[in-house]
Amino acid sequence: MAAERLVVIGGDAAGMSAASQARRMKGPRDLEIVAFERGDFTSYSACGIPYWVGGDVAGPGDLVARTPEEHRERGIDLRMRTEVTGIDVAGQRVRARDLVSGEESWTGYDKLVVATGARPVRPPLPGIDAPGVHGVQGLDDGQALINTLSRTKGRRAVVVGAGYIGVEMAEALLRRGYDVTAVYRGEQPMATLDPDMGRLVRTAMDGMGITTVGGAAVSRILTGEDGRVRAVATEDAEYPADVVVLGIGVEPRTELARTAGLPLGPHGGLLTDLAMRVRGHDNIWAGGDCVEVLDLVSGTTRHIALGTHANKHGQIIGANAGGGYSTFPGVVGTAVSKVCDLEIARTGLREKDARAVGLQFVTATIESTDRAGYYPGAEPMTVKMLAERRTGRLLGVQIVGRAGSAKRVDIAAVALTARMTVEQMTALDLGYAPPFSPVWDPVLVAARKVTTAVRDGAA
Amino acid sequence: MAAERLVVIGGDAAGMSAASQARRMKGPRDLEIVAFERGDFTSYSACGIPYWVGGDVAGPGDLVARTPEEHRERGIDLRMRTEVTGIDVAGQRVRARDLVSGEESWTGYDKLVVATGARPVRPPLPGIDAPGVHGVQGLDDGQALINTLSRTKGRRAVVVGAGYIGVEMAEALLRRGYDVTAVYRGEQPMATLDPDMGRLVRTAMDGMGITTVGGAAVSRILTGEDGRVRAVATEDAEYPADVVVLGIGVEPRTELARTAGLPLGPHGGLLTDLAMRVRGHDNIWAGGDCVEVLDLVSGTTRHIALGTHANKHGQIIGANAGGGYSTFPGVVGTAVSKVCDLEIARTGLREKDARAVGLQFVTATIESTDRAGYYPGAEPMTVKMLAERRTGRLLGVQIVGRAGSAKRVDIAAVALTARMTVEQMTALDLGYAPPFSPVWDPVLVAARKVTTAVRDGAA
């Protein structure tokens, strides 16, 4: 018998990273690890689904970093197709149902990891459950969509929502030869950007042949005589559709946690301390898409469903649950994406985020190129930068451009973490050579311009 | 009459940036600006010369950011083909010779900017001045090389030196259809990397069909009966050559400054304060390739000839000479380059740099890919990271890989500036999406591995 038992709820990035790291810290004689997963897959890249649908990735197997068998070989008692249906915090046990046999049983724990992930927002609209309407959260969803696409003769696709998932799915469907319409609520696509930057994305999407319909709230999904989707309807219009993909965001899957009395934040995610321990519970950790994280720029908590955070959380939880010590300081809100050859990146606060937390700011937007203007293949890039009024502290950066744009946001992500001022940024020693950057990197050009705005504002 | 006169020696990046910025600060009625340039060009990108030679850039005009006429239109009294031959510090005047007429005259100054640049190292070897042997520091040099290439029938090129210029020229000559041999002193090419990383560059160069000859000191240049170069000789061997390009580095061009009694550092560059003012001289500034800069990681001064620094220096000098206030905090030693599709980047200290300043360190080297391994086009990337022993402070990063490798060094450049520890870096919120990064960015993977090394070293 192992000295103690660690139970993990959820077999994707956060849960299995935690299990694996705990196993590296302690062997099976010291720590028994039991992990429950409702679905058929472990440790997979949900972020890769659009590229699978678009045909860039051959199959779901490519998106699986580690299979159930591989986890079991590492001494993890992994129970697939088994859903945890209750957490008894006082009794230190979880109730789980075998989804094949229907049997339920209790499993005790000394330490618990909650990694229940997120689910796609699916508004209760008429027709939302009709055949041909798909979310793309898990590999099963991806496979279901691909099955629909292979069976469907029509070539009209409507993507509802134009955030990361929405634009990536628009690209995927375009690559598969569909006429794609993106219908979204906001004024511009990519509401994670300020509208002036989102407008650049919209213009580019229009240029790619994607029909963009902004300011449009979907009111119902219309079905044909066969019961399948035939159109997406707003108050004013109908958009014919042979297939509909929902990309309207995700929300933390925290009903289990709520029922068990674990603390949730304003966005419905679990609240943890810096060691990723659920607040008020010494032996329960939580991470990945089901938690809220500290935003280091605004000082508030946010819900960000992103594989890279889930993996970090899992590592940290596993280290702590395995008797070590590690903390997650928080995020600055970095995200990168692309739609065809357009790269989109952001980090830190948008204008409205800054306003919401009482920060006054100045902004500057510049146009430059990814490499020296005279070097072949130089492509335009727009960089917007926000700095706090008076102090000049960097608050956020948004970038829209072609090749070489997105990952430049990392410069700002590190600068935000270090709480640099934009004037300090103007002196950053960034890599320069004509194939890689103009002599003033676009991020430096933006920093210079916003530094001037800070000075002018202070005068 | 203007209230005061600013004299600038040198019409390239640092000098003309200073002149332009000073002009933005003060109009012609308040500040007269006189700039002297020996050559035929102003404000040009020497870094672009290899791409001009290689055929990626059409002509020298593409490399000129601002012509003499454009500077004059902005109210700068620019005197081309005029060489400053003396600085009379006590008398606040410079002596200049018109290289066309041969006439010399004195020009008084209230404020002086020394931006005399660097010159290629040209060892006094027999035959070094033979026709067919070329340096590539200025646009005139580039044109001379291109003229030689167009006249030369043979297709054998030898590049002496395998630093940035050397490898970039090797690529350029390869692209022009030459059989290229790179002959260099060091164990590996790219001595700005540690030898273990330089070895990766050598392997890649070999794979591109470049003959690499390391550990080879050139003893003489052999000429044929026509007086032109015919081979490069070391103690042991001869390497036939129809054309020879010297890429053995540059040294500050500071004879004028030395003669005038201005302070020079251990690398022969001018020493300045943080406002880029020459030490001990309130009204003299210096910047660009003729100065030494503070290395923020080691605390020592270095000589780094790089256009991006020269432009920053010029901006800062111009602001200060124009009555404003601006400082240059120093560098961390970032440099990026490529040879064909191989990207090479470095920042901070190499192992030998760290040892030279008494820093003890641990290192880690990892292999990863530029994007998610399952995403099409994923290419390998090797990242080496150095951290200070015990404190874990980041000391340096070196990257060798294919597309998407070089500019990742900027993450480390900012982290070095912020004096982050490698453990802090493991939590950096870097942009993640499958087309742009694995779920753990390669820089994070390296940070994690070297963090473990720091802990193990502390145990």
Instruction: Write the pLDDT tens digit of every residue in A245-271.
Output: 999 999 999 999 999 999 999 999 999
Distance, in angstroms, between A47 CA and closest chain B CA? 7
Which of B48, B415, B427 lies closest to A329 in CB terms?
B427
Q: By CA distance, what is A399's nearest residue in B? A: B431
Contact A417 B431 (CB under 8 A): no
* Residue B167 confidence (pLDDT): 96
Q: Could you read off the pLDDT of B54-73 as tens digits, one per residue?
A: 999 998 899 999 999 999 99
Q: Give the mutation candidate from B339, B407, B422, B444 for the A interface (greatest A CB count, under 10 A).
A: B407
Alpha-carbon gap: A130 to the closest alpha carbon of chain B (Å)? 30
Percent of chain B with pLDDT over 70: 99
> CB–CB of A432 and B47 under 8 A?
yes
A439 and B407 within 8 Å at the Cβ level: the answer is no
Q: Same CATH topology for B4-118+251-321 and B335-458? A: yes
- What is the band of B397 on the pLDDT scale with cuts at 50, 70, 90? very high
Cβ-based neighbour number of residue B82 at 10 Å: 24
Name the minimum distance, in Å, from the CA of B392 to any CA of chain A.
Answer: 15
Inter-chain CB proximity A436 and B404 less than 8 Å: no
State how far residue A397 is from chain B, nearest Cα, in angstroms: 12
Chains A, B: CB pairs < 8 Å: 201
Euclidean distance between CA atoms B5 and B18, whole angstroms? 14
Nearest to A336 among B417, B420, B433 (CB): B433
Q: Is A154 helix (H, G, I), strand (E, B) or coil?
A: coil
Average the pLDDT over B379-392 and give the result: 97
Write out chain B residues lying below 8 Å of A392, CB-based. none
The matching CATH number, chosen from 3.50.50.60, 3.20.20.60, 3.40.640.10, 2.30.29.30, for A122-248 is 3.50.50.60
Task: Measure the CA–CA gap between A72 and A24, rounded to whole angstroms.
Answer: 14
In sequence order, what are the residues at sequence separation of 6 or more whose Cβ sits closer than 8 angstroms to the Cβ of residue A418?
Answer: B414, B415, B417, B418, B420
Closest CA to A297 of A347, A266, A332, A346: A332
- Chain A residue numbers with beta carbons less than 8 Å from the beta carbon of B345 are 431
Looking at residue A285, its amino acid is W
> A368 to chain B, minimum CA–CA distance in Å?
14
**Amino acid type, A396:** G
| Record: contact B333-A429, CB cut-off 8 A | yes
Q: Do B413 and A428 touch (CB under 8 A)?
A: yes
Does residue B249 register a pLDDT over 80? yes
Q: What letter does residue A142 receive in the DSSP assignment?
A: H
Instruction: Check CB contact under 8 Å for A13 and B439.
Output: yes
Helices A164-175 and A195-207: crossing angle, nearest 10°?
10
> In the predicted model, what is the mean pLDDT of chain B?
96
Question: What is the 3-class SS of A44-69, one letter each residue?
Answer: ECHHHHHHHHCCCCCCHHHHECCCHH
Quote the minimal CA–CA distance from A370 to chain B in Å. Answer: 11
Our CA-based measurement puts residue A78 at a distance from the nearest CA of chain B, in whole angstroms, of 23
- A429 and B417 within 8 Å at the Cβ level: the answer is yes
- Complex ipTM value: 0.96
Share of chain B above pLDDT 90, in %: 95
Q: What is the pLDDT of residue A34?
A: 98
- Topology adopted by domain B4-118+251-321: FAD/NAD(P)-binding domain (3.50.50)
pLDDT in tens, A367-426: 999 999 999 999 999 999 999 999 999 999 999 999 999 999 999 999 999 999 999 999
How many other CB atoms are found less than 10 A from the CB of residue A187?
Answer: 12
The pLDDT > 70 percentage for chain A reads: 99
Name the residue facing A45 among B57, B63, B434 (closest C-beta): B434
User: Which token pair is B210?
Assistant: 């470049």
Q: Is B361 left (phi over 0), alpha (psi -120 to 50) or beta?
A: beta
Which chain A residue is nearest to residue B313, measuring alpha carbons? A427
**pLDDT at A458 (0 to 100):** 66
Asked if the model's pLDDT at residue B459 lies above 60, the reply is no
β strands within B61-169, DSSP E = 77-79, 82-88, 93-98, 104-108, 111-114, 118-120, 133-134, 156-160
- Listed by start position, the domains of chain A span 4-118+251-321, 122-248, 335-458
Does residue A459 surpass a pLDDT of 60?
no
Strand order in the sheet with A77-79: A77-79, A31-36, A4-9, A111-114, A284-286
Instruction: List the single residue in A with minimal CA-CA distance to B331.
Output: A429
Contacts B401 to A, Cβ<8 Å: none
Q: Are the beta carbons of B414 and A427 separated by less than 8 Å?
A: no
Chain A positions in Cβ-Cβ contact with residue B413 (cut-off 8 Å): 428-431
Examine the pLDDT at B5 and tell me if it is beyond 60.
yes
Other C-beta atoms closer than 10 Å to the C-beta of A195 total 17
Residues of A in contact with B331 (CB under 8 A): 429
Cβ of A410 within 8 Å of Cβ of B406? The answer is: no
Q: What is the pLDDT of residues B324-351, one digit of tens each?
A: 999 999 999 999 999 999 999 999 999 9
Across chain A, how many H-helices and E-strands are there? 12, 25
* pLDDT of B427 strictly over 70: yes
pLDDT at residue B1, as a whole number: 60
Cα(B222)–Cα(B127) distance, integer angstroms: 6
CB crowding B408-440: b at 16 or more within 10 Å, else e: bbbbbbbbbbbebbbbbbbbbbbbbbbbbbbbb
Chain B nearest C-alpha distance from A246 (Å): 19
pLDDT at B2 over 80: no
* Catalytic annotation, residues of A: 47
* pLDDT of A1 above 90: no
Supply the pLDDT for residue A3: 86
B314 in helix, strand or coil? helix
Nearest to A372 among B48, B306, B347 (CB): B48
Q: Smallest Cβ distance to B414: which of A47, A51, A428?
A: A428
The residue in chain A having the minimum alpha-carbon distance to the alpha carbon of residue B333 is A429
CA separation for the pair A12, A16 (Å, rounded): 6
- Across the interface, of A338, A413, A433, the residue whose CB is closest to B336 is A433
Degrees, nearest 5: CA angle B75-B77-B79: 145
- Looking at domain A335-458, its CATH architecture is 3-Layer(bba) Sandwich (3.50)
Residue of A nearest to B306 (CA): A432
Q: How many CB atoms lie within 10 A of CB A164?
A: 23
**What residues of chain B lie within 8 A of the CB of A336, using their CB?**
431-433, 436-437
B296 burial level (CB within 10 Å; 0-12, 13-18, 19+): middle
Cβ–Cβ gap B414/A415 under 8 Å: yes
pLDDT, one tens digit per residue, over B175-188 is 999 999 999 999 99
Q: Which residues contact B455 (CB under 8 A, 6 or more apart)?
A: none
Please report the pLDDT score of residue A457 as a whole number: 80
**Predicted pLDDT of residue B458:** 66
Contact yes or no for A63 and B333 at CB 8 A = no
Interface test with A, best of B51, B414, B448 (most A CBs within 10 A): B414
Inter-chain residue contact B430 with A410, CB threshold 8 Å: yes
Q: Please tell me the distance from the alpha carbon of residue B207 to that of residue A458, in angstroms, as a whole number.
A: 57
Q: pTM for this structure? A: 0.96
Encoding tokens for residue B260? 């005038």
- Give whole-number Cα distances, B197 to B234, B237, B350, in Å: 25, 27, 10
Cβ-defined contact of B439 to A62 (cutoff 8 Å): no
Site from A414, A424, A454 to mutate, B interface, most B CB atoms within 10 angstroms: A414
> What's the rounded mean pLDDT across residues B216-241?
96
Candidate from A335, A338, A417 with C-beta closest to B435:
A338
Confidence check: pLDDT of A112 > 70: yes
Burial A272-299 (b: 16+ CB within 10 A, else e): beeebbbeebeebbbbbbbbbbbbbbbe
Q: How far is CA A32 from CA A36, A443, B158, in A?
A: 13, 49, 64
Residues of A in contact with B404 (CB under 8 A): 407
Collect all residues of chain A within an 8 Å Cβ-Cβ radius of residue B434: 45, 47-48, 51
Task: For residues A119 and A192, give the distance between their C-alpha atoms in angstroms, rounded to a whole number.
Answer: 19
Helix, strand and coil in chain B, % to nearest 5: 30, 30, 40
Cα-based angle A152, A170, B436 (whole degrees, multiple of 5): 130
Helix (H, G, I), strand (E, B) or coil at A281: coil
Comparing alpha-carbon positions, the chain B residue that sits nearest to A164 is B433
Mean pLDDT, range A100-128, rounded to an integer: 96
Q: Over the stretch A166-179, which tens digit does the pLDDT of each residue have?
A: 999 999 999 999 99
* Catalytic annotation, residues of B: 47
Give pLDDT tens digits for A46-102: 899 999 999 999 988 999 999 999 999 999 999 999 999 999 999 999 999 999 999
Burial B349-388 (b: 16+ CB within 10 A, else e): bbbebbeeeebebbbbbbebbbbbebbeebeebbbbbbbb
- The reported pLDDT for the residue numbered A415 is 98
A406 Rama sector, left if φ>0, alpha if ψ -120 to 50, beta otherwise: alpha
How far does A416 lie from chain B, in Å, by closest CA?
Answer: 10
pLDDT for B81-130, tens place per residue?
999 999 999 999 999 999 999 999 999 999 999 999 999 898 999 999 99
Contact B231, B239 (CB under 8 A): yes
Q: Residue A205 contacts by C-beta under 8 Å, 6 or more apart in sequence?
A: A167, A170, A182, A189, A212, A339, A342
Asked if A439's CB is within 8 angstroms of B13's CB, the reply is: yes
Mean pLDDT of B378-406: 97
Nearest CA in chain B to A441: B308
